[in-house]
A and B are shown apart, each in its own frame.
Chain A
Amino acid sequence: MRFGTSIALAVTALVLASCGGGGDGGVAFIGGPGGGDGGGDGPPPAAMNWVTGSSPLSAALAAPGSVSTADGGQTITLVGGDGETACAGAQYGFATSPCMVTASLAGSPGTYVFDWEFTTQDASGPGADIFGVIVDGQPLALSDPGGAVTQSGHREVPVPQGEITLFVNCTDCTDGAANVKVSAFHPK
């Protein structure tokens, strides 16, 4: 289930930059902390403050991608980048590619639960765009590169240190973007 070591290191570095809030070599924020209306039946859960961002190279794409949150942070929508020309330094299908959008949460340690729906417009299918989570610096791909263009799942993720990042990596970032909706995100 894990990326190779080098991939893990690369993504970890990116996440650390993301958590650092931008600046040189960091990610450019494309949205503020998640808020949302917290609506729905019953008392709203405590809002989760997602920090959303994208890597600088993704931000430079013609369609740089986006991240938005709703429902008090329980719903997160990530749209991967896309462009006429490939993301610089990217390699198709590799999570080490530097173009990604992220939503990061520094919450309480524990197990988080969520549903996810993934679809990609890329003609090459889900091998071109990777959706996953990074937990305490360790990436875990959730979308199946050999699966259907539309996928979904339910996930329970232990987060011992309380830091979790959702990401969409558009790898070479051409031929169509991926769209991911994470819903019902909450601590177990």
Chain B
Amino acid sequence: MIQKKGPRHLGTRARQVLPLIAAVVLSVALPAHARVTRIVIDGVTQMTGSTGSIPYEQVRGRAFGELDPNDPHNAVITDIQLGADNDGKVRYETNWVITKPVATSQGSGFMWHDVPNRGGSVSLADNEFIAGDIGLRSGWQADNAGGTGVPVDRSTGTNHWVAVPLAKQNGVPLTGQVLARVVNEGGADSKPLMVQRNPVPYLPATLDTTKATLKVHTKETVDGKVTEGETIPSADWAFAHCDAAHPFPGTPDDNDPTHAPGNLPVHICLKNGFDPKLLYQVVYTANNPYVLGVGMAAFRDVGTFFRSAIQDDNGTANPIASAVKGASIRGVSQSGNMVRQFLYMGLNQDESNRKVYEGAWAIIAGRRVAANARWAMPDGVLELYQMGSEGPQWWVPWPDTARDLPAKSILDRCSQSGTCPKVIEHFGSAEVYALKLTPEWVGTSADADIPLLREVRRYYVGSSTHGGGSGGFTHIPASSAGPSCPGNNFGTGTLLPNPVPHAELQNVLRAAMRDWVLKGTPPPPSRYPTITGGNLVDPTKAAMGFPNGVPGIPDSIFLPENFVFPVFDYDWGSNFNRSDASGVPTNLPPPIKSVIRMLVPRVDEDGNEIGGVPTVLTLAPLGTYLGWNITASGFHQGQVCNYVGGYVPFAKTKTERLAKGDPRRSLEERYATHEGYVAAVTAAAQKAIDEGYLLAADRDKLIRQAADSSVLR
């Protein structure tokens, strides 16, 4: 007789014990699967002054991990086979910081794994402390330069870093071509090679300038037309530091790779000095590429370790073991692009086939960060010849007709493994104009709205700058200075800073993501401009319906050469995978095969955008809020000011506006009195809260701010 087995046939005591045994077996087994093999805790700090009643502490340390380059989970990583140690494993070390309730039982059980931006700090928001959330951040950007530089002593508590292997062939470092640019710089002093705000991370393999090319551009348009000037003779420039006291050829750069990153940035010294009217573009041979994708995998492994493991291989306890019931990856701007690239690479499936995060929130980011190609520069954003828009940017399989690529989506890999998270994305207007957003909405053919998934929410804050403005109800700011244009020495804007905030929407979305993951409560419906709705149009003044005569806005800004940074279909060479944005780019600078059609939101009679989430400042405007600004001077003068927004206040009275020839109604014509303005704000806030895009506490705050403001007083 065969004896039946299984819990159903066991006694009560056995049924009680079995789950315990299973839990113990699981906890023992987990460290072997989680590829973080060891953690070190470097410090624990009690947090004071944090919002809310729950005591918090911060734990920081390092994680050591290893990857099997032959594991299919890691096959997507460019050069992973070239980063292996002698035993065949690929190893990394990264810092991490956990912000947690001292007693995790007091917490919400929800963990945010925040993606640091260029190595910088990230903090939980006030209402996340109040809710008792756990915050985790760790390194991912493996280019080891500036803010992402790996400390020599591997210390923690400063920047966020991850140490990954260099790609070597038979022990010999690889070499390849790298492109860097210097703009808006003048004088005899040498200039650093920067990408965004960090150094170009690759040292020249040789200081011999005959092996490099330095060209001058006399003009570049935002739609990719380059006017080339001279090629500077190799004898007239050097990879060197120089200044008036140490003139050309100056002191040669230290290109010893063992001194990196301390010997970055690479400097260029010109015999005849730099002309601020010109752009300088150098292509040189570099060596020692990082296996950048290992940094992405390290982020995955750290996330899955802290949410799932009890302890590491050595028995060091996970400080938040068993405390996490649900988790979301979250990144802002370039880090949001990391979130999207992370999902594209299929990294939300860990090596044990588990879903790492139930949620993913990409904030003001509509592209995929360049962090998985050889010689990639993850700091790059929108400037000419920077990667980040290659391959699918959308959430459902959709043909990439303009680039002749097959139908794919960001979620293809996680769909196959059943590990896709719930996704929230939110944007502002600056991403449309400068950060190459709209192919994410309408594809490269720009002729149809690409549907979302039920588990993807999209929110758009029209007429807002990158990350949102400072809010408030200031009609005329105390300072008339324009904002700085982000990017590599780009300049400043002619128009005032745009105050339209994202903060109130983000407060809604923080709670929405937590409740979506932990309780299954759906977030508010998506809100964004569409072709179907008639609110997404070609980027011309006529198609947008932008009014004539708005002070400070010349018609020239609307020209294609000045207005919208488009996606370029670059030819990076045959060793580059155009969908995955992986492999090896070999064409530098890459020829532009085509310029992708971009769309922008339609605007109302004031020039404010139509469509998107209702916000108080755009429903009760004090002026025209723009997702763009105009570069005041320098090489980019008259063009869109990188990705910063602008603001053109309304006149206060009809007499004033008529004197200026301003077609927009004045504040008095709109609201009559201060009380009338407060009533408009109150109505706008109520609309936003009724539709689910504003919290009651923020409604009350906004109405109070409007009442306290000087508008029409």
> What residues make up the interface of A, taking CB atoms closer than 8 Å to B?
1-4, 91-94, 122-128, 141-149, 171-172, 174-175
Q: B152 an interface residue at 8 Å Cβ cutoff?
A: no
Decide: B448 and A144 in contact? CB cutoff 8 A: no
Decide: B453 and A126 in contact? CB cutoff 8 A: no
Select which of A1, A122, A124, A171 is within 8 A of B532 by beta carbon. Answer: A1
Q: Which of B523-550 contact A (CB under 8 A)?
A: 524-535
Q: How far is A78 from B502 in the complex, measured between Cα atoms in Å?
A: 37
Decide: B691 and A148 in contact? CB cutoff 8 A: yes
10 inter-chain pairs at a CB distance below 8 angstroms, sorted by A residue, are A2-B448, A93-B396, A94-B451, A123-B522, A124-B457, A124-B525, A125-B526, A143-B532, A146-B611, A148-B691
Q: How far is A79 from B528 in the complex, measured between Cα atoms in Å?
A: 25
> Closest CB-CB distance, A61 to chain B, in whole Å?
16
Closest to A132 in B: B532
Using Cβ atoms and an 8 Å threshold, which residues of chain A touch B396? Answer: 91, 93
Decide: A126 and B525 in contact? CB cutoff 8 A: yes
The listed residue with most B CB atoms (<10 A of its CB), out of A143, A145, A149, is A145
Q: How far is A175 from B535 in the complex, measured between Cα atoms in Å?
A: 27
Residues A1 and B531 in contact in the complex (CB < 8 Å), given A127-B451, A127-B452, A146-B611: yes
Q: B669 an interface residue at 8 Å Cβ cutoff?
A: no
Using Cβ atoms and an 8 Å threshold, which residues of chain A touch B533? Answer: 144-147
Closest to A120 in B: B525
Contact count A vs B, C-beta below 8 Å: 77
The 9 nearest A-B residue pairs measured at CB: A125-B525, A93-B451, A144-B533, A123-B522, A146-B528, A146-B530, A92-B454, A141-B532, A147-B533
Using Cβ atoms and an 8 Å threshold, which residues of chain A touch B526? Answer: 124-125, 127, 145-146
Q: B656 an interface residue at 8 Å Cβ cutoff?
A: no
Q: B33 an interface residue at 8 Å Cβ cutoff?
A: no
Q: How far is A91 from B97 in the complex, measured between Cα atoms in Å?
A: 40
> Closest CB-CB distance, A154 to chain B, in whole Å?
13
Using Cβ atoms and an 8 Å threshold, which residues of chain B touch A4? Answer: 447-448
> What residues make up the interface of B, taking CB atoms closer than 8 Å to A?
396, 447-449, 451-454, 457-458, 460, 522, 524-535, 611-612, 691
The listed residue with most A CB atoms (<10 A of its CB), out of B457, B460, B526, B531, is B526
The listed residue with most B CB atoms (<10 A of its CB), out of A141, A142, A143, is A141
Q: How far is A145 from B451 in the complex, measured between Cα atoms in Å?
A: 8
Using Cβ atoms and an 8 Å threshold, which residues of chain A touch B529? Answer: 146
Decide: A93 and B530 in contact? CB cutoff 8 A: no
Decide: A123 and B452 in contact? CB cutoff 8 A: no
Q: How far is A2 from B396 in the complex, measured between Cα atoms in Å?
A: 18
Q: How far is A171 from B527 in the complex, measured between Cα atoms in Å?
A: 18
The listed residue with most B CB atoms (<10 A of its CB), out of A4, A91, A141, A144, is A144
Using Cβ atoms and an 8 Å threshold, which residues of chain A touch B453? Answer: 92-93
Closest to B521 in A: A123
Decide: B525 and A144 in contact? CB cutoff 8 A: no
Besides A127-B452, A145-B452, A149-B691, 18 more A-B contacts (Cβ < 8 Å) are: A4-B448, A93-B452, A94-B451, A123-B525, A126-B525, A127-B525, A128-B454, A143-B532, A144-B530, A144-B532, A144-B535, A145-B530, A146-B460, A146-B528, A146-B529, A147-B611, A174-B454, A175-B454
Decide: B448 and A3 in contact? CB cutoff 8 A: yes
Q: How far is A2 from B529 in the complex, measured between Cα atoms in Å?
A: 16
Decide: B458 and A172 in contact? CB cutoff 8 A: no
Using Cβ atoms and an 8 Å threshold, which residues of chain B touch A148? Answer: 527, 691
The listed residue with most A CB atoms (<10 A of its CB), out of B396, B525, B527, B611, is B525
> Closest CB-CB distance, B614 to chain A, in whole Å?
9
Select which of A2, A91, A142 is within 8 A of B447 by beta carbon. Answer: A2
> Closest CB-CB distance, A15 to chain B, in whole Å?
19
Using Cβ atoms and an 8 Å threshold, which residues of chain A touch B530? Answer: 144-147
Using Cβ atoms and an 8 Å threshold, which residues of chain A touch B449? Answer: 145-146
Using Cβ atoms and an 8 Å threshold, which residues of chain A touch B522? Answer: 123-124, 175
Q: How far is A143 from B522 in the complex, measured between Cα atoms in Å?
A: 21
Select which of B448, B457, B525, B535 is within 8 A of A149 by beta carbon. Answer: B525
Using Cβ atoms and an 8 Å threshold, which residues of chain A touch B457? Answer: 124
Using Cβ atoms and an 8 Å threshold, which residues of chain B touch A93? Answer: 396, 451-453
Q: How far is A70 from B457 in the complex, measured between Cα atoms in Å?
A: 37
Using Cβ atoms and an 8 Å threshold, which residues of chain B touch A92? Answer: 451-454
Using Cβ atoms and an 8 Å threshold, which residues of chain A touch B447? Answer: 2, 4
> Closest CB-CB distance, B451 to chain A, in whole Å?
3
> Closest CB-CB distance, B407 to chain A, in whole Å?
11
Using Cβ atoms and an 8 Å threshold, which residues of chain A touch B452? Answer: 92-93, 127, 145
Q: How far is A123 from B612 in the complex, measured between Cα atoms in Å?
A: 17
> Closest CB-CB distance, B690 to chain A, in whole Å?
10
Using Cβ atoms and an 8 Å threshold, which residues of chain B touch A175? Answer: 454, 522
Q: How far is A127 from B532 in the complex, measured between Cα atoms in Å?
A: 11
Q: How far is A124 from B452 in the complex, measured between Cα atoms in Å?
A: 10
Q: How far is A141 from B531 in the complex, measured between Cα atoms in Å?
A: 10
Q: How far is A127 from B459 in the complex, measured between Cα atoms in Å?
A: 13
Select which of B448, B454, B527, B691 is within 8 A of A146 by beta carbon. Answer: B527
> Closest CB-CB distance, A164 to chain B, in whole Å?
18
Q: How far is A146 from B528 in the complex, measured between Cα atoms in Å?
A: 5
Using Cβ atoms and an 8 Å threshold, which residues of chain B touch A2? Answer: 447-448
The listed residue with most A CB atoms (<10 A of its CB), out of B448, B522, B691, is B448
Closest to A122 in B: B525
Q: How far is A147 from B460 in the complex, measured between Cα atoms in Å?
A: 11
The listed residue with most A CB atoms (<10 A of its CB), out of B457, B530, B611, B691, is B530
> Closest CB-CB distance, A95 to chain B, in whole Å?
9
Closest to A125 in B: B525
Q: How far is A57 from B535 in the complex, measured between Cα atoms in Å?
A: 33
Using Cβ atoms and an 8 Å threshold, which residues of chain A touch B691? Answer: 148-149
